């Protein structure tokens, strides 16, 4: 049995509570547990004399308890000595059973961060070894935890999972030796990831570039690309719905427009139109910067379906964006008498039933909505084209599920995906290798450029004053924060406090708040209020990255902008400049920003080209980015990261291609190991 099929419940000594806690964070198998990589490591392989401890350093010390005292809330204060000096150890909420063991005269081992308190060296809540044990022979891993699992318990469970690797056949080596550049087996790599040898570079571990980390990451990238190649090959065998060109309908539609499409829009539609005429179902991704006119291209593609008596469905990631598309497409097509339906999750029953009937009897030729479009109760008369807006939120699995919704027997609908998230060629060729890619690389005439400025957070009140003046005159603004609530770990302005601060500073303005922890219906309600002009300043997290058009919004302020990926900042910037107002993006940075962070912000300041920005993001973005978005959105990598590991992608695609061509037996095993529940298995 492979590690991917071995349940964690089979680990010796694991409790049902631990199984439940791990299941909640997606750890169901031994493979899942072993892929729960440490996010950092500690060197506990040597003791540091107390007189050599320095502030803010991490250290392990072995000393004798010379005195102890208690305080409120089970606080215990120990004084330790190792003959070189004195160390104060403060323990909050110390459990009774541990308190009893901490007697004066006992030897105690502590692992923790050193601070200075009242001119005395101190450790607060360090990890304790109550027994005088030997030092470990490898670095100690530090894991992200979940409620119900403590650090030492997680380490013990991972060690039990590592013990399972010793069983025959549990971790078969699936990468042929001549293609394995690291020279390590997956088994050995997993062991060394969790127990790195002394001398392994801590900085290399932090960058995920050690040979053991790369061995695991590369197997995942190889397996992912094999799954994409499998889909690409299977697509050739599918029966599509040939849709002949409808030149007269397209010409009639274009004559109703009050503007002329760009050359890029027409070129991309020509590429789509040719795909639609084929018996093989189209599978195309359209990339286009914010404001390039992807909706018009979607309408043109839908018209080719409508002209052939076929329905098309357009899916957006949020209700308010779906409603915006519905309104825009209705306005586009009203002169042609083409019926558009809207389906969202929050529609009232009577309205939803009315829309469902229009879809079922074919009176609705174009259906716009959220994922509600593909629920079981939705029955299409003749669905032949699926258009997904913001493709980066849908991976291979989602694309497969959507295609199964076709209502025409033995036919697979054409699929057109669109994204405003620029994806560098390196990533697009790997992640979307099962799709053809078109690029709309031209903005409509008359669209005003957005002026981007960088400003230190010390000038926050100056910006607020400007907002007060402009919004009192009828304009609107966004204020974006990286966190929802105040954090003890990250020194970042949070949305809730920012909302309270702006409300106090701007008492005559209406301040709104929207963030990812709100219910979708509540978020949409706030966004509607903002769109309708009933909110002057919208405080938000990055949930507005994919948002609606608010032509009256003249400014977006992004707090702690150095914490975001450049592609995400570019997306956020695109929330303004949607109308005729001169628009501005203010990148506010903290005094903690480093030279790389400043270089990244200047890249955004000096360019409005999303593809240039995305490529630069790949080149200079560091692993310390706390809140940078994955440019590939919801692609379900388990340990790999498309941005961090993009340099490994080219070699992994070469290896995957060779395995795919020459070792079909390994293709199936690799896919089963990395995607055990995947629908990809059904086409292997």
Q: How far apart are CA 78 and CA 91, in angstroms?
A: 8
pLDDT (mean) for 637-661: 88
Tell me, yes or no, if the two domains 247-440 and 451-607 fold the same way: yes
Q: Phi and psi dihedrals of 54, rounded to 5?
A: -125, 150
> Residue 210's pLDDT band (boundaries 50, 70, 90)?
very high
**What is each CA distance from 644 to 70, 419, 592, 621, in whole angstroms?**
47, 21, 22, 8
Is the pLDDT at 627 greater than 50? The verdict is no
Higher pLDDT, 195 or 224: 195
The reported pLDDT for the residue numbered 122 is 95
* Cα(143)–Cα(406) distance, integer angstroms: 44
Mean pLDDT calculated for residue range 401-410? 64
Lowest mean pLDDT among 449-453, 455-459, 483-487: 483-487
Fold of the domain built from segment(s) 247-440: Rossmann fold (3.40.50)
> Which CATH number does the domain 58-129 belong to among 3.30.200.20, 2.40.50.140, 3.40.50.10860, 2.60.120.10?
2.40.50.140
In this predicted model, what pLDDT tens digit does every residue of 119-128 receive, in sequence order?
899 999 999 9
Look-up of token digits 């969790």: 194
The ranges assigned to domains in the chain are 3-41+139-207, 58-129, 247-440, 451-607
User: pLDDT confidence of 489, banded at 50, 70, 90?
Assistant: very low
| Rounded-to-integer distance, Cα 108 and Cα 133, Å | 10
pLDDT at position 613? 79
| CA neighbor of 213 nearest in space, from 185, 192, 187 | 192
- Count CB atoms within 10 A of the CB of residue 350: 8
pLDDT of 242 over the 90 cut? yes
Q: What is the mean pLDDT of the chain?
A: 87
pLDDT at residue 431 in the model: 65
Second CATH level (architecture) for the domain 451-607: 3-Layer(aba) Sandwich (3.40)
* pLDDT over 70 percentage in the chain: 89
pLDDT in tens, 174-183: 999 999 999 9
- 677's CB contacts (< 8 A; 6+ apart) are none
Q: Is the dihedral of CA 108, 114, 115, 121 positive or negative?
A: positive
Percent of the chain topping pLDDT 90: 55
The tens digit of pLDDT for each residue in 583-597 reads 999 999 988 888 888
Phi and psi of 71, rounded to 5°?
-135, -160
Cut 0.75: pTM above it: no
Contact call for residues 499 and 511 (beta carbons, < 8 A): yes
Separation of alpha carbons 663 and 137, rounded Å: 39
Residue 338 to residue 346: CA distance in whole angstroms = 25
């Amino acid at each position: 049995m492979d590690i991917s099929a071995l349940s964690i419940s089979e680990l010796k000594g694991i409790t049902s509570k631990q199984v439940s806690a791990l299941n909640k964070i997606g750890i169901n198998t031994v493979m899942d547990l072993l892929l729960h990589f440490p996010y950092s490591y500690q060197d506990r392989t040597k003791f540091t004399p107390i007189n050599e401890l320095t502030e803010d350093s991490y250290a392990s010390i072995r000393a004798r308890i010379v005195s102890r005292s208690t305080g409120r809330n089970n606080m215990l204060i120990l004084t330790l000595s190792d003959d070189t000096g004195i160390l104060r150890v403060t323990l909050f909420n110390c459990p009774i059973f541990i308190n009893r063991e901490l007697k004066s005269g006992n030897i105690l081992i502590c692992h923790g961060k050193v601070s200075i308190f009242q001119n005395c060296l101190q450790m607060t809540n360090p990890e304790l070894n109550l027994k005088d044990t030997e030092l470990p022979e490898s670095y100690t891993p530090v894991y992200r935890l979940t409620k119900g699992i403590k650090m030492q318990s997680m380490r013990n469970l991972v060690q039990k999972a590592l013990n399972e690797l010793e069983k025959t056949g549990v971790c078969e080596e699936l990468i042929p030796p001549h293609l394995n550049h690291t020279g390590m087996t997956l088994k050995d790599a997993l062991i060394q990831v969790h127990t790195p040898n002394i001398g392994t570079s801590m900085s290399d571990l932090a960058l995920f570039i050690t040979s053991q980390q790369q061995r695991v990451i590369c197997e995942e990238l190889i397996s992912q690309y094999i799954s994409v190649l499998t889909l690409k090959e299977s697509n050739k065998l599918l029966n599509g719905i040939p849709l002949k060109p409808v030149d007269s309908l397209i010409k009639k539609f274009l004559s109703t427009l009050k503007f002329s499409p760009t050359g890029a829009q027409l070129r991309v539609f020509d590429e789509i139109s040719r795909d639609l005429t084929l018996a093989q179902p189209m599978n195309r991704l359209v990339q286009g910067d914010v404001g390039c006119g992807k909706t018009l291209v979607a309408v043109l593609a839908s018209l080719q379906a409508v002209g052939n008596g076929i329905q098309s469905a357009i899916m957006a990631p949020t209700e308010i964006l779906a409603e915006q598309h519905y309104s825009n497409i209705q306005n586009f097509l009203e002169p042609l008498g083409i019926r558009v339906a809207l389906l969202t999750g929050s529609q009232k029953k009577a309205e939803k039933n009315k829309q469902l009937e229009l879809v079922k009897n074919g009176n609705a030729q174009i259906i716009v909505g959220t994922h509600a479009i593909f629920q079981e109760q939705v029955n299409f008369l003749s669905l032949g084209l699926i258009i997904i807006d913001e493709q980066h939120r849908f991976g291979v699995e989602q694309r497969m599920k959507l295609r199964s919704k076709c209502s025409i027997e033995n036919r697979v609908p054409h699929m057109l995906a669109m994204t405003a998230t620029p994806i560098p060629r390196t990533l697009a060729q790997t992640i979307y290798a099962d799709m053809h890619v078109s690029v709309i690389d031209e903005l409509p005439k008359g669209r005003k450029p957005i002026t981007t400025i960088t400003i230190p957070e010390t000038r926050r009140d100056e910006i607020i004053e400007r907002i007060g003046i402009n919004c009192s005159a009828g304009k609107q603004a966004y204020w974006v924060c990286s966190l929802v609530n105040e954090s003890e770990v990250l020194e970042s302005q949070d949305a809730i406090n920012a909302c309270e601060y702006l409300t106090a500073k701007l008492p005559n303005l209406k301040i709104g708040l929207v963030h990812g922890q709100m219910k979708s219906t509540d978020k949409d309600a706030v966004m509607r209020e903002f769109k309708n002009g009933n909110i002057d300043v919208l405080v938000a997290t990055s949930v507005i990255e994919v948002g609606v058009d608010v032509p009256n919004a003249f400014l977006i302020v992004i707090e702690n902008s150095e914490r975001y990926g450049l592609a995400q900042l570019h997306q956020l910037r695109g929330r303004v400049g949607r109308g005729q107002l001169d628009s501005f993006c203010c990148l506010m940075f903290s005094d903690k920003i480093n030279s790389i962070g400043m270089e990244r912000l200047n890249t955004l300041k000096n360019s409005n080209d999303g593809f240039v920005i995305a490529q630069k993001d790949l080149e200079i973005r560091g692993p310390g980015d706390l809140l940078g978005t994955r440019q590939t959105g919801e692609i379900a990598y388990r340990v790999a990261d498309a941005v961090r590991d993009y340099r490994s992608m080219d070699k992994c695609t070469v290896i995957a291609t060779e395995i795919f061509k020459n070792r079909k037996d390994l293709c199936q095993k690799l896919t089963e190991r990395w995607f055990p529940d995947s629908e990809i298995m059904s086409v292997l």
